[in-house]
Amino acid sequence: MALAILCSGGDAPGMNPALKKFVDHVYKCGETPYFIYDGLEGMIDGNIRQACHKDVAGILHNGGAIIGSSRSKRFYDPAYRTQAYKNLRKHDITGVVVLGGDGSYNAFEVLSNEHPVNFVGIPSTIDNDIYGTEYCLGVDTALNVIRSAVDNIRDTASTFKRAFVVETMGRECGYLAAVTALASGAEICAIPEMCFNKKAAESHLKKEIAHGRKYVLAIVAEGTKMTEEIKKWLTDEIGMETRVTVLGHIQRGGTPTVRDRIMAFDFTVRAVDLLMKNKTIRQAIGYRNGTFETMEIAEVNAGHYRIPDNILRDLHYLD
């Protein structure tokens, strides 16, 4: 049995630990591991090679993905999907482990509806926005990268008595911003999932400033598109000199945390075992309530992720 693994979409810390565990575990099971380089584009172009232990030696501490990743417009074309499937068959690959987010899952659902492709998805995105799982590879590292940056920004904000608006990634999901705001004690948080109560926040901040508050920290999710609006509001209505920091792609890099490494191991072992036990499988693994669970890919793709209620509840103090 030959099994392959690929990374698709945005990179996430934890992908390299997953790649190492994939090679180690597949060989341990007496089977042959393959790497699909450069994601969906590499699968179309046949950039597929057998992996060995030396390929993954010493990669646990590295962010990114040694086999590359991509987004692929060509994959929308059925002819290219057929070409990708034929490339898998050339190597007698019977199953694929997919490290990616919802775009990757959708791509493989379409492919598997057209061709007999078995696959198991491992949620891998710092956005943490995949339905059916509370945890995606990369989110813990991203949160720690953001936390470090915000802590440093707070030092400057308090020294110069300024307001800082920090924009986080996450597309249309505010998970990174919400958790960062709670963990950093931010005074303001704006996420797509909640209406930002500007009037209440203004009243609250003015009272605190009157009682000695010297600085303000605002965490804004990119999906709100409110970064400049909140900067202007803090300057004009709150009366504080305000700076904006867009963290950008720094959030997607960095040495994977211990949790992301261990979660990568656990996700990958389960994915390989599922592929070896099932002749037909189109599933994704999720992590909920402290346990790993599997879901049919169609259910995952049809669902909509929600930030946990306890996080949204705790954010209400920022209203």
Q: How long, in residues, is the chain? A: 319
Per the annotation, the verdict on 236 as an active-site residue is: no
User: Which residue of the set 127, 129, 140, 260 is catalytic?
Assistant: 127
Q: Is residue 147 exposed (0-12), middle (13-18) or buried (19+ Cβ within 10 Å)?
A: middle
Do 67 and 19 contact (CB within 8 A), yes or no?
yes
Cα–Cα dist 97/275, whole Å: 8
Nearest to 277 by CA among 120, 86, 70, 66: 120
Q: Which residues contact 157 (CB under 8 A, 6 or more apart)?
A: 163, 164, 215, 216, 217
Cα–Cα dist 247/251, whole Å: 7
Three-state DSSP class for residue 137: strand
**Catalytic residue positions, numbered:** 127
